[in-house]
Amino acid sequence: MKKNEFHEEFIKGIWRDNPVFVQVLGMCPMLAVTNSAINAIAMGMATFFVLVGSSFLVSTFRHLIPKQVRISCFIIIIATFVTIADYTLLALVPAVHKELGAFIPLIVANCLILGRQEAFASRYPTKLAVMDAMGMASGFLLALLSLGSVREILGDGALFGMKLFGENFEPWVIMILPPGGFLTLGVILLFFNWFRLKKDEFLEDVAAAERGGN
Amino acid sequence: MDNLLWIFISALLVNNFVLTYFLGLCPFLGVSGSLETSARLGLATTFVMLVTAVCAWVLNTYVLIHAPYLRLICFIVVIASTVQFIEMLIKKLSPALFRAMGIFLPLITTNCAILGLAIFATNRGYGFWEGIVYALGAGIGFTLALVLLAGLREESELSNIPKLIKGTAMNLIIAGVLSMAFMGFAGLFSSA
């Protein structure tokens, strides 16, 4: 196994196959808890722990799990890790745990996690699966953080609880309410669309130039 | 009786699962391409929700009192087996519907709306009938949001929109506007 391959599995989750911006998975926690940057980080870390832990177990036991009941097995493994994360957060940061509320147990239902078990961890060796999980989880954390920061800055005029603007700033309260989540993510996806269109145009130009040259 | 009605309306409109709690977004964005499919998926989800509510009540009353830390695992196993059962049923009864729903049918298991329903109902300490009414309201609310978005999407397929905004970005912005409209229901009960 080359070192390059590990690197590749890690990087793809952060940019090329970013779970949120490209694959549009795991939207529920994504939108529900990103009304402040702190919440976004707590949710991102919890998801990171659950995804890496369950990918490790699933990939280690992938030959033992019968095909017919694999989904149920994955879900039980995931649910166990989520319960651990739930109780750990409750013990360490009770305030954040209260804020996130029912959305911590709902990590179980994050399609990103089950999707990775089904598509990757159950087919590849442990090392690769862990790398893949770490990449995907980092991409997810990054997406949560960017959405959470934008919403907190616009909706509350603050970042990590610190006020950024003077007294005159009128917060866009709508941004920390549910519609703000949809709108912010919509605009971020617009940016990604624009980026992809530009890239396609560029590639076409290069191809045309090469044909012309020959 | 009033209380039950309140729970129903609240789950249906004021605290709509999709547009206020962001639950069940994967099918919301994935399947809502056509009215027909989204209506059927909505019905299937409502049915699963009703079954879930009953299961959650039974588990809460008889099993989980003794072991609260098993709550999550219990819920998810019961829901997963229910969905598997329904999947087999649909496959047998209507292969066309089975094809139409594709990947999203097994994914009802990981539909946060289903698990969210069980957890919210538990957190609020709903009894048997309250749980059923809550599930019904949430399910119909889910269907409503799905059908509304599907209608808007079908319409937008035919109109001339910039290539840039097509796809998920536009659906999310439409959902944002819908969500704003649903926020109008928030004042429904505060004065009463």
Task: Please answer whether residues A145 and A20 qualify as being in contact, where contact means their C-beta atoms are separated by less than 8 angstroms.
Answer: no
**Structural tokens at position A193:** 């669309």
Residue B40 CB contacts under 8 Å (≥ 6 apart), including other chains: B97, B100, B101
Going from N- to C-terminal start, the domains of chain B cover: 32-182
How far apart CA A24 and CA B166 sit, in angstroms, is 14
pLDDT at A49: 93
Task: Give the closest of B20, B76, B123 to A102, CB-based.
Answer: B123
Instruction: List C-alpha distances in Å: A68 to A58, A71, A73, B82, B106.
Output: 15, 8, 10, 15, 13
In the stretch 131-170 of chain B, residues with CB closer than 8 A to chain A read 163-170
How far apart CA B79 and CA B55 sit, in angstroms, is 8
**Structural tokens at position B50:** 């009703």
The yes-or-no verdict on residue B192 having pLDDT over 60 is no
Inter-chain contact B22–A28, Cβ cutoff 8 Å?
yes
The yes-or-no verdict on residue B138 having pLDDT over 80 is yes
| pLDDT tens per residue across span A87-110 | 898 898 888 888 887 788 888 878
Going from N- to C-terminal start, the domains of chain A cover: 3-213
Rounded-to-10 torsion of CA B68, A105, B6, B29: -150
**Structural tokens at position B67:** 């072991």
Task: Give the closest of B29, B115, B116 to A27, CB-based.
Answer: B29
Sort strands A158-159 and A162-163 into parallel, antiparallel or unpaired.
antiparallel
The yes-or-no verdict on residue B137 having pLDDT over 80 is yes
How far apart CA B83 and CA B50 sit, in angstroms, is 12
> What ranges make up the beta strands (E) of chain B?
none
Inter-chain contact A174–B180, Cβ cutoff 8 Å?
yes
pLDDT at A48: 92
More confident residue, B34 or A42: A42
Average pLDDT in the B123-148 region?
A: 88
Task: Please answer whether residues A25 and B21 qualify as being in contact, where contact means their C-beta atoms are separated by less than 8 angstroms.
Answer: no
How far apart CA A135 and CA A8 sit, in angstroms, is 9
Query: Which run of H or E residues covers position A158?
Result: strand A158-159
In which residue are the tokens 């749980």 written?
B131
Neighbours of A195 (CB within 10 A): 11
Q: What is the mean pLDDT of chain A?
A: 83
Interface pTM (ipTM) of the complex? 0.78
Nearest C-alpha neighbor of A25 from the set A101, A100, A109, A128? A109
| pLDDT tens per residue across span A114-152 | 888 888 888 888 888 888 899 889 988 988 888 888 888
The yes-or-no verdict on residue B173 having pLDDT over 60 is yes
More confident residue, B115 or A164: B115
Average pLDDT in the A204-213 region?
A: 82
How far apart CA A47 and CA B93 sit, in angstroms, is 38
Distance of CA A120 to the CA centre of its chain: 16
Neighbours of B78 (CB within 10 A): 18
Average pLDDT in the B153-164 region?
A: 81
A195 at the B interface (CB within 8 A)? no
Nearest C-alpha neighbor of A83 from the set A128, A43, A50, A117? A50
More confident residue, B60 or B190: B60
The yes-or-no verdict on residue B191 having pLDDT over 50 is no
* Residue A51 pLDDT grade (very low, low, confident, very high; cuts 50, 70, 90): very high
B23 at the A interface (CB within 8 A)? yes
The yes-or-no verdict on residue A61 having pLDDT over 70 is yes
Residue A84 CB contacts under 8 Å (≥ 6 apart), including other chains: A49
pLDDT at B110: 59
More confident residue, A5 or A110: A110
**Structural tokens at position A125:** 């060796």
Residues of B in contact with A180 (CB under 8 A): 176
CA distance A214 to chain B (A): 32
Inter-chain contact B115–A79, Cβ cutoff 8 Å?
no
Q: What is the mean pLDDT of chain B?
A: 79
What percentage of chain B exceeds 90 in pLDDT?
Answer: 1
Task: Give the closest of B22, B25, B164 to A193, CB-based.
Answer: B164
Provide the residue type at A37 as one letter: A
The yes-or-no verdict on residue A81 having pLDDT over 90 is yes
Task: Please answer whether residues A133 and A52 qualify as being in contact, where contact means their C-beta atoms are separated by less than 8 angstroms.
Answer: yes
Give which of A73, A97, A106 to mutate to test B binding, by max B Cβ within 10 Å. Answer: A106
The yes-or-no verdict on residue A171 having pLDDT over 70 is yes
> What ranges make up the beta strands (E) of B38-187?
none
Residues of A in contact with B172 (CB under 8 A): 182-183, 185-186, 189
